[in-house]
Chains A and B, each alone.
Chain A
Amino acid sequence: MKGFVTIDNQKVEINGERNLLEMIRKTGIDLPTFCYHSELSIYGACRLCVVETDKGQVISSCSTPPANGMVIKTNTSRLMRIRKMMLELLLANHDRNCTTCPKSGKCKLQELSNRFGIDEIRFPTAERNRPIDKSSISVIRNENKCILCGDCVRTCAEIQGIGAIDFANRGARTRVMSAFDRGLGETECINCGQCVAVCPTGALTTPSQVDLIWDALRDPEMHVVISVAPAVRVAIGEEFDYPPGAIETGKMVAAIRKLGFNEVFDTCYAADVTTWEETAEFVKRLQNKENLPHFTSCCPAWIKACETLYPEKIKNLSTCRSPQAIEGSMLVHHYVEEKKMDREKLFVVSVMPCVAKKFEARRPELSRNGHPDVDAVITTSELAKMIKAAGIVFNELSEESFDIPYGFSTGAAVIYGMTGGVATAVVREVRYLLTGERTSDLETEPVEGFPGLMRSSVTLPDGTIVKLGIVSGMANVQKVINAIDSKELEFDIVEVMACPGGCVGGGGQPIPNESVQRAKRRKGIITDDIRKDLRVAHDNVLVGELYNRWLKTPNSEIAHEYLHTHYQKRPRDYEITKTKN
């Protein structure tokens, strides 16, 4: 469509925009919405983005494609009356205990009611006393705060292809519900937290383990260590008014130290270990031509999805633990030995861009004598909250460095924070091991018909061509797996990340957490990688040390015992016979 749309008397050229809302926002007017997300299907339910045409019609701009000659106004008194009324109606049906809401200050409903000056609700407040669903370790659902915008439902179904939640009932009795109204923790939910990231209110949040950490920090007997995932450093700044993608590693470490942690480690160290282990495992599989394609196993949401939806693919998963799990295992098995410390006096915290990591940390196979290796997992946003709670002025901090040895890493570890990173790290490692060459970049190309998939191939010295697939977003992943099964696609190794864009877009990242932010964070990760002197995992001498002192060689018996794991088939929703009541 070519031509012009007149928006508030201003002629605006149509330039590939899919709907009027995109055009209006281009003119600098931030028309509010709850249910519009550029990556989701059009829903048209919140009625906030309404505009008035020159014919006096009121239409929703999100669902109307621009057409040449259209004349619209965005802020007539009729429209303002509609927007205010919509907000008032939503607020009447909303649990308005805002001061104690985990989303307070970041709630879209709160923000808009402020913006529109809603100072009175003329309607009786609906009694909604639905129990809060705390059955999941990754996501809390408080229906009393739900405004039924459907963002979570569409994200779960369209972006992740899971559909753990959907609408039930109709009219004023409409609810968002999981299958058979089970607790989210008892469903096929993969804990990715993408629903939490899109929820405009406090209806979907993540359970906080922050209090556990404060208790540990205040216990003089306790040695509290923390490990920070790569994707956190390029996003934490957003909580302190830095732009997305700003690399705030130094200030972040300084702030964490100020909080009272005894040692501040970098999960990137563990990621380098992962690269050593996984490369060895993959090369062996490649040589034996067994269990190919090899699927990466760093993403806990993908792991649960694989266990639930593709149990037959469990054998293709790398048995290598994720960097978080390796870090935990290393600390509670090796670090305590070296420090001659009682495990019970060590408190291990990890900061993740992810809420599924909370679930991962509670997997029984990742514990020692019933005590999980990682004691508490917090998200990027939760770390920021701790920093704010302590009154630390983040912006004024001087930069500090991670503690050695577990704070040292190569660029090949930093890139674990984005889609393609693990695959790139493994390729760098394989090339180095087989040719002694240090290459940095993996040339990838998109695959037509498969959004979210990139492919590449590497020729090894013996002439073997290794085919790589890199895919993120669970809906995209499912398409790729189906295509592998039907032989439409062929890979030797597939890197899988459940969240679009990988960990930079994880469910624990600051909001907004959309494609714009993800792209900028990705840039930050790439910059951080380039800045590093060492960009091949094998060059991490401190990892080499760890092998010398403890693990011997990659995939050794001891490495298998402490750095590898196993998986289990999980039932589908319809296979679970247990019902509520």
Chain B
Amino acid sequence: MTAICSMVELVEKSKLYSHALSKQTLRISVCAGTGCIANGSKLVYEKFLETVKDNKDFVDIHMLTEESVSEGKTVVRTGCRGFCSKGPLVHIDPLNVLYTHVKPEDVQEIYDAALDGKIIERLVYHDPITNEAYPNAEESPFYKNQTSNILLHCGKINPESIKEYIADQGYFAISKVLTEMTPEQVNNIVSASGLRGRGGGGFPTGTKWNFARVQKADKKYIVCNGDEGDPGAFMNRSVLEGDPHRVVEGMMIAGYAIGADEGVFYVRAEYPLAIERLKIAIREAEENGLLGKNILGSGFNFKLSIREGAGAFVCGEETALLASVEGKRGIPRPRPPFPAVSGLYGKPTVINNVETLANLPRIILNGPEWFRSFGTEKSPGTKTFALTGKVRNTGLVEIPMGTTLRQLVFDIGGGIPNGKKFKAVQIGGPSGGCLPDSMLDNPLDYDSLQKAGAMIGSGGIVVMDEDNCIVEVAKFFMTFIQAESCGKCVACREGTKQMLYIMEKIVNDQATLEDLKLLEEIAHVIQDASLCALGKTAANPILSTLRYFRSEYLAHIVDHQCPAGVCNAFKKYQINPDLCKGCGACAKKCPVNAISGTIKSPFTIDSSICIRCGTCKDTCRFGAIEVR
């Protein structure tokens, strides 16, 4: 492969590749995002390869060279298409049809139909409420209400092929930057776009860059924070898996703007596929002369490497992340000095989130006004969210900032399944908060969420229905935070431990109102006193639930009830004498001998002994055991 040495060569290659792609008469895209792989898309992909292997029309896009541009058919693996709950997904072009829940045994049928230009009705997406079929999934409510900027390529291009990225103006932005702009101009464009950090804090990216750009140093670094640790969040993962070159290009733009000649991807080791695809992307970019020395003949040198995180949530915090990259214990340090002044190995460093970087190429190509045409004035652009929990359409979505929670949960997410009632959304991960139905019309942007006591975080959204106990949910997040505290500062290390302890008392029916008071006191103190953002936001799940669901806490503490019927300690097992046949099977199975009675007459449970294990309920063949 010859290196691309100038902008002209890049444009030529792009034309060549896009021409080759346009000549494809059949393109079968199998989603190979993590969600679809978990659902079995690997087998589907292999089955397709096996099915097409004797058909000489099928070519590998990798094989396309200048000489062999011809009509062809191909099977490719793509990154995440977002509609994870319906996976494995297979998309057929140019028919533009999306098949859902594809199994290996459907492959032959899909192949035959595709060759005939036919659509298989039973495999297309059907709206669960109207049962309407959407062969073109883009028209379904899930996709229709989304805006794809960041995820533009995800699920469409082959993430392991630099050619497909280049075909769609790939590396045009860095090429423009290197040939037409000064670092300051790049910085100014990003500042003008109003882009804010997508990692959660929402700090203006241009301002952050500026701090580092004006530093005089022999060496600077740009670091990509891919340590997406929030439970339920997989946006960064999907971007890295689905469109790695976009992030690579983003790193180059940021590096050029701040004066860095080296970038480091910090990606959690739990994302092996993202790391693998990133490695391929970096290698391909190097082979094409897009990374290395004198890129595109501009004199700009840039190299990239990958560091795998070792599984600590706190390493998403930038100073802890830097320590981890340096091979030290991943613990935060006080700021100042800020990384922009003294970061990686003591050099000025900018740390940007994956999604922030993924936004850059299009901001450069389309201009800041284009970017500002999405979202709100203070939070421009679009944002990806990982929509999970009690919602019909779980998956990866991208919406303009300022979209309301209601639109997200009900229009895109399709509402709550099984006829249950919406109760709350947990947004922003462990550092975020729970918002009730009264906040459904709240716009999703940095500032309104913060005002509501939550935060965008990296964009994880967990929808909860009436069967979720809010206290139990808050306890879950507290358990997470407590386990992930780095243990450095007293506030977070000891405070989260005591908060968790009180939360456990509440769900175990052992807490008093005094405990609740103490819980709030610690929560406010650790919010004030913690060393890093993890500690400062550690109390958010508790403070936000106390703000919107205090009555549920009081129900546990004062009324000794769990309204959602989740917390074991409040459950009461009883035998309905009308249904009990007096067989005694439950009494035999009871591990603590809480059940007694005479054969052939109704048995009873002594609730002072009962440990609420549920064995009796599982044992009874007559449905006589009732739980209240």
Interface residues of B in 521-571 (CB under 8 A from A): 521-522, 525, 528-531
Identify the closest chain B residue to A84 (Cβ). B525
B11-19, B163-171, B480-488: which lies at the interface: B480-488
- Name the B residues within 8 Å of A46 (CB-CB): 489-490
- A64 vs B333: C-alpha distance in the bound complex, in angstroms? 12
Report yes or no: B498 in contact with A171, Cβ–Cβ below 8 A: no
Q: A45-B488, A47-B530, A167-B329 are in contact. Are A63 and B334 (CB under 8 A)?
A: yes
Report yes or no: B489 in contact with A45, Cβ–Cβ below 8 A: yes
A89-97, A518-526, A554-562: which lies at the interface: A89-97
- Name the A residues within 8 Å of B491 (CB-CB): 47, 82, 85-86, 89
- Name the B residues within 8 Å of A123 (CB-CB): 498, 501
Interface residues of A in 350-392 (CB under 8 A from B): none
Identify the closest chain A residue to B329 (Cβ). A167
Decide yes or no whether B286 CB sits under 8 A from chain A.
no
Contact of A92 among B488, B498, B531 (CB under 8 A): B498
Report yes or no: B490 in contact with A86, Cβ–Cβ below 8 A: yes
Q: A47-B530, A123-B501 are in contact. Are A172 and B525 (CB under 8 A)?
A: no
- A78 vs B494: C-alpha distance in the bound complex, in angstroms? 19
- A457 vs B214: C-alpha distance in the bound complex, in angstroms? 47
- A46 vs B484: C-alpha distance in the bound complex, in angstroms? 19
- A62 vs B334: C-alpha distance in the bound complex, in angstroms? 9
Decide yes or no whether B47 CB sits under 8 A from chain A.
no
Interface residues of A in 105-139 (CB under 8 A from B): 122-124, 126
- Name the A residues within 8 Å of B335 (CB-CB): 63
Report yes or no: B487 in contact with A169, Cβ–Cβ below 8 A: yes
Decide yes or no whether B493 CB sits under 8 A from chain A.
yes
Identify the closest chain A residue to B481 (Cβ). A171
Q: How far is the CB of A180 from chain B (nearest CB, A)?
A: 17
Count A interface residues, CB 8 Å. Answer: 37
Q: How far is the CB of B407 from chain A (nearest CB, A)?
A: 35
Report yes or no: B312 in contact with A170, Cβ–Cβ below 8 A: yes
Report yes or no: B528 in contact with A58, Cβ–Cβ below 8 A: yes
Report yes or no: B528 in contact with A92, Cβ–Cβ below 8 A: no
- Name the A residues within 8 Å of B329 (CB-CB): 166-167
Report yes or no: A60 in contact with B531, Cβ–Cβ below 8 A: yes
Decide yes or no whether B82 CB sits under 8 A from chain A.
no
Q: A45-B489, A45-B490, A64-B336 are in contact. Are A172 and B528 (CB under 8 A)?
A: no
Instruction: Digitize B314-343: 1 where CB-to-A-CB distance is under 8 Å, 0 elsewhere.
Output: 100000000000000101011110000000
Decide yes or no whether A81 CB sits under 8 A from chain B.
yes
- Name the B residues within 8 Å of A150 (CB-CB): 488
Decide yes or no whether B400 CB sits under 8 A from chain A.
no
- A167 vs B531: C-alpha distance in the bound complex, in angstroms? 17
Decide yes or no whether B279 CB sits under 8 A from chain A.
no
- A171 vs B488: C-alpha distance in the bound complex, in angstroms? 8
- Name the B residues within 8 Å of A64 (CB-CB): 334, 336
Decide yes or no whether B347 CB sits under 8 A from chain A.
no
Report yes or no: B490 in contact with A172, Cβ–Cβ below 8 A: no
Report yes or no: A89 in contact with B494, Cβ–Cβ below 8 A: yes
- A147 vs B487: C-alpha distance in the bound complex, in angstroms? 11
Q: A89-B494, A122-B518 are in contact. Are A50 and B529 (CB under 8 A)?
A: yes
- Name the A residues within 8 Å of B531 (CB-CB): 44-45, 47, 60
Q: A44-B333, A64-B336, A148-B493 are in contact. Are A173 and B528 (CB under 8 A)?
A: no
Instruction: Digitize B490-509: 1 where CB-to-A-CB distance is under 8 Å, 0 elsewhere.
Output: 11011111100100000000
Report yes or no: A85 in contact with B521, Cβ–Cβ below 8 A: yes
Q: A123-B501, A170-B485 are in contact. Are A93 and B494 (CB under 8 A)?
A: yes
Q: How far is the CB of B211 from chain A (nearest CB, A)?
A: 15
- A50 vs B490: C-alpha distance in the bound complex, in angstroms? 13
Identify the closest chain A residue to B517 (Cβ). A122
- Name the A residues within 8 Å of B484 (CB-CB): 170-171
Q: A65-B336, A90-B494 are in contact. Are A85 and B487 (CB under 8 A)?
A: no
- Name the B residues within 8 Å of A78 (CB-CB): 528
Report yes or no: A90 in contact with B490, Cβ–Cβ below 8 A: yes
Q: How far is the CB of A329 from chain B (nearest CB, A)?
A: 46
Q: A63-B334, A89-B494 are in contact. Are A170 and B486 (CB under 8 A)?
A: yes
Contact of B336 among A63, A81, A86 (CB under 8 A): A63
Decide yes or no whether A459 CB sits under 8 A from chain B.
no
Q: A92-B494, A124-B501 are in contact. Are A82 and B487 (CB under 8 A)?
A: no
Identify the closest chain B residue to A123 (Cβ). B498
Identify the closest chain B residue to A34 (Cβ). B490
Report yes or no: B487 in contact with A170, Cβ–Cβ below 8 A: yes
Identify the closest chain B residue to A166 (Cβ). B329
Identify the closest chain A residue to B314 (Cβ). A170
Report yes or no: B490 in contact with A47, Cβ–Cβ below 8 A: yes
Report yes or no: B529 in contact with A58, Cβ–Cβ below 8 A: yes
Q: How far is the CB of A24 from chain B (nearest CB, A)?
A: 16
- Name the B residues within 8 Å of A90 (CB-CB): 490, 494
- A81 vs B487: C-alpha distance in the bound complex, in angstroms? 21
Identify the closest chain B residue to A50 (Cβ). B529
Report yes or no: A173 in contact with B498, Cβ–Cβ below 8 A: no
Identify the closest chain A residue to B502 (Cβ). A123
- Name the A residues within 8 Å of B336 (CB-CB): 63-65
Decide yes or no whether A548 CB sits under 8 A from chain B.
no
Identify the closest chain B residue to A83 (Cβ). B529
Q: How far is the CB of A163 from chain B (nearest CB, A)?
A: 12
- Name the A residues within 8 Å of B314 (CB-CB): 170
- Name the B residues within 8 Å of A42 (CB-CB): 333-334
Q: How far is the CB of A169 from chain B (nearest CB, A)?
A: 7
Contact of B487 among A50, A62, A174 (CB under 8 A): A174
- Name the A residues within 8 Å of B333 (CB-CB): 42-44
- Name the A residues within 8 Å of B490 (CB-CB): 45-47, 86, 89-90, 147-148
- Name the A residues within 8 Å of B488 (CB-CB): 43, 45, 148, 150, 174
Report yes or no: B522 in contact with A85, Cβ–Cβ below 8 A: yes
Report yes or no: A47 in contact with B487, Cβ–Cβ below 8 A: no
- A166 vs B329: C-alpha distance in the bound complex, in angstroms? 10
- A170 vs B495: C-alpha distance in the bound complex, in angstroms? 14
- Name the B residues within 8 Å of A173 (CB-CB): 487
Instruction: Digitize A47-84: 1 where CB-to-B-CB distance is under 8 Å, 0 elsewhere.
Output: 10010000000101011110000000000001001100
Interface centre among A85, A90, A126 (most CB of B within 10 A): A85
- Name the A residues within 8 Å of B494 (CB-CB): 89-90, 92-93, 172
Q: A122-B518, A170-B312 are in contact. Are A60 and B525 (CB under 8 A)?
A: no
Tell me the B residues contacting A by CB distance below 8 Å.
312, 314, 329, 331, 333-336, 482-491, 493-498, 501, 518, 521-522, 525, 528-531
Would you list 25 pairs from A and B whose C-beta atoms are within 8 A, ordered by A residue? Answer: A43-B334, A43-B488, A44-B334, A45-B531, A47-B489, A63-B335, A64-B334, A65-B336, A82-B491, A82-B525, A82-B528, A86-B491, A86-B529, A123-B501, A126-B497, A147-B490, A171-B486, A171-B493, A172-B493, A172-B494, A172-B496, A172-B497, A173-B487, A174-B487, A174-B488
Given A147-B490, A167-B331, output 11 extra A-B contacts at Cβ < 8 Å.
A44-B489, A58-B528, A58-B529, A82-B528, A85-B525, A89-B494, A90-B490, A92-B494, A93-B497, A148-B490, A171-B497
- Smallest CB-CB A-B distances: 5 pairs: A174-B487, A63-B334, A44-B334, A89-B494, A171-B485
Tell me the A residues contacting B by CB distance below 8 Å.
42-47, 50, 58, 60, 62-65, 78, 81-82, 85-86, 89-90, 92-93, 122-124, 126, 147-148, 150, 166-167, 169-174
